[in-house]
Amino acid sequence: MFKIKNPNQCLLSITEKCNFSCIHCFTDSSKKLENVMSLDLFKNCIQQLNDLGVIWINLTGGEPLLHPKIKKILEIAFSFGEQHIFTLLSNGSNWNDDLITLIEKDYKKHQLKIQFSIDGFDYQTFSSIRKGSTINDFENLIDVILKLKQRNHHITVFHTVTKKTLGNALETARFVLEKLNVNQVVLDPLFISGRAKKNFNELVYSYDEWKELLRHVTIIKRDNLWGSLSKRLQMTFFTFYELVIPLKELGMEQELKEIWHFDEEVFFRYRPIWCEAGVTDLCINSRGDVFPCVPAISTNFVAGNIQEQSLSEIWFKSDLFNWFREIQFEVIKKEPCIDCEFKRICGGGCRISAQALLNDRTAPDPRCPKVRDYLKYYGEGDTNEGRS
C-alpha cells in the first residue's frame, strides 16, 4: 500500500441532461434526464474540494450550459478565489452572445479554460457521432469558438477517437487548429463506459489501429510536419498500453521521451501507478455520488455520497477507493501480467474496462495487447476487440 495524498483533480458533473445523445457518451446523458445539481450541493462540493486542496476542477454534465442556473454556478465557483483552475466542458451548442459577454466581463480574470468536443471536420462527420445534433448546432459551435478566440480565451478541443472517427481524426485535428486557431486539440481514447459500452462493436477500434494513429501523431510532432501547429496537437493516454507499449513495439523509445516526455523514474515521483482512479483523481455526479474516475461515473463504482459523508472521509477511508489503490498488486500476480516487464507501473490496466468487457473487475485489462494475445491463445475470453 502506498501513501495516500490529497487528490488534485475532480470532474464535477452538474447535470445529467444533454441536448445530444452521442453514441460514445460515457455518462449516458440525454434529453430525457432532468437531474441537476442544486446550488447548495454545488457550493458544498466546491468548498470541500477547496479544503482538500484540489487544483483542477472540471465542470461538465451532460451539457453544463443546460443547468438552469449556470451563471450562478460560475459565480459560486469563482467566489473561492484563484487557487483553482476551472475548465468548462461543453458541446458548444447552447452558447450565446450574452454568455460570451458574461465570461469576458466577469470570469476572464480567473483564467477560466473552455473545452469543446468536436467529432468531425464537417456536419456529416460530426453528426455521425453526435446523435440529435443539427447543422445549426455544428455551425453555432464553430461560431462560438471563433468569437471566444477573438477575445483571446484559452480553448481546447477534445476529439474522441472511435472506429467511426479514426479515419478522419487527423483531418478534424488540423481543421480545428488551422481554421479555428484553438490553443490545442487533444485526441482522446474511447472510454468503455456508458453508451460506448452499449455500442461497443460499432465504436471500438483495434489496438493496431490506435498504434498507427499514435505513430502518425508522433511523427507529425517529431518532424514538425504541421509547422507551428505540430506542438498544439496532443493525445491523452489513460492506460499504459495506449502509449508506452505501442511506441516500444515501433522502436520509438527516443520519441517516447522527447515527444511525449515519458520517463519512468520521473513518473514514479508523481504517482505510484499509471491509473489515476482514487490516486490523483475523483469524480462527483449531480446527486453528490463520488466515483474514483471519469469512466466510472455511469457504473456502480460509488465510493460514497458527499451529502452523507465528508469528501475527506470518502477519499481517505472509502473501501472502494482503497480497493482501487490496492487491487493492482493482486492483478499483476495473474497471467499474463505476472511475467510482464511493465507490470509495476501498469498495474494490470483499467478496472472499468475489465468489468465492462469480462465482467470481472479483478481481471487484467483485455484491451492490453499482451492480455488480448494471451486470452486468444488460451481461449479464455473474447472481447471482440476492434473487429470490423
pLDDT score of 386: 43
In a domain, residue 22? The reply is yes
In a domain, residue 337? The reply is no
Contact residues for 129 (Cβ-Cβ < 8 A; gap 6+): 22, 23, 24, 119, 120, 160, 162, 164, 165
Determine the average pLDDT of the residues in 65-76: 94
**Omega prior to 92 cis, within 30 of 0:** no
Q: Residue type at 308?
A: E
> Domain of 320: which CATH number?
3.20.20.70
Look at the alpha carbons of 280, 286, 290, 294 in this order and tell me if their dihedral is positive or negative. Answer: negative
pLDDT score of 110: 74
Q: Does residue 103 have a pLDDT over 90? A: no
- pLDDT tens, 352-370? 999 999 999 999 999 999 9
Strand runs (DSSP E) across 74-181, as ranges?
85-90, 113-117, 155-160
CA–CA separation, 136 and 19 (whole Å): 13
In a domain, residue 147? The reply is yes
The owner of cell 498488486 is: 329
In a domain, residue 178? The reply is yes
Q: Does residue 271 have a pLDDT over 80? A: no
Contact residues for 4 (Cβ-Cβ < 8 A; gap 6+): 315, 316, 325
In a domain, residue 224? The reply is yes
Count of structural domains within the chain:
1
In a domain, residue 386? The reply is no
Q: Does residue 250 have a pLDDT over 60? A: yes
If one compares 16 and 29, the residue with the highest pLDDT of the two is 16
Q: Which domain holds residue 29?
A: 9-326
In a domain, residue 365? The reply is no
Determine the average pLDDT of the residues in 113-136: 92
pLDDT score of 290: 99
In a domain, residue 348? The reply is no
CA–CA separation, 132 and 232 (whole Å): 30
pLDDT score of 388: 29
